[in-house]
Structure 1
């Protein structure tokens, strides 16, 4: 299967992006991330890409690890020097990334670290009205309204993607799908 790069328009085999171990490792990082947050992170990684060359996969892996550590902490500080922390949901981080992507022309690129994003998310978390607005559009709330059949279809799609990416063997994927369908009955 050939896919087209959304950035440059070049076509390439889908498997080519995941042939090396680092590509697989990067793809595996996104497996458990909520899709909306995952798409935001992919756009955010572009902000770290040097102008004359692409972002190294090893650097992308490190950036995603650092970012997911911050997101999974459940809180955000304005910067490393302050101890004041605010609760910050993944939806707030997604909104912060979206805000940065919308104003990318005003940013000094490429970014070196996550400090500016942390300040943006802290601003969202510090404003009760803005935080409430972000939570109203939280994909987890939408997900809770999905039917059981829609959830199973989504899970089967993820399993099939993992098989395609080589994260799971074909047999493991078929076993997981069978177990999922068996639990459904």
Structure 2
């Protein structure tokens, strides 16, 4: 079995795109999930090069060094937690450390030195993009959004939203053109 790590693979559409590439190459994966593909048989160098070329056409890239793989895993954990969370109150550092079975301070230093922002800042940016998405859908109140994303209050969410975007959630909702970023662009 071979595990292949893929950078910028951060959403369900990304999974579908990678599955399409594998199908075109007649490679049948065991599993395709955010940031990685599991295949039963090792890909030979020709298959791996072809796979890499196809991935690059879609803005993905293979991760081959350990540090890049770890950074990608941290990002994937955070994105999954925010996009699919039913755990409202958890400690991010403990969660990431437990998921990767590594010391958080080492993970934090690696992430900061590589990306230029802290894990916490990355998490906040992801949460703000999720808030934007939920505001655009206009199905939940700000209080409900705050609860869903684990904020202590809607005031805390509003303050953080304004600090990151320069707008209050209400101002953002009233904009004709919403300035949203893809989760892979953060």
Is this a same-fold pair by TM over 0.5? no
Q: Which has the higher helix share?
A: 1
- For normalisation by structure 1, the TM-score amounts to 0.30
- For normalisation by structure 2, the TM-score amounts to 0.29
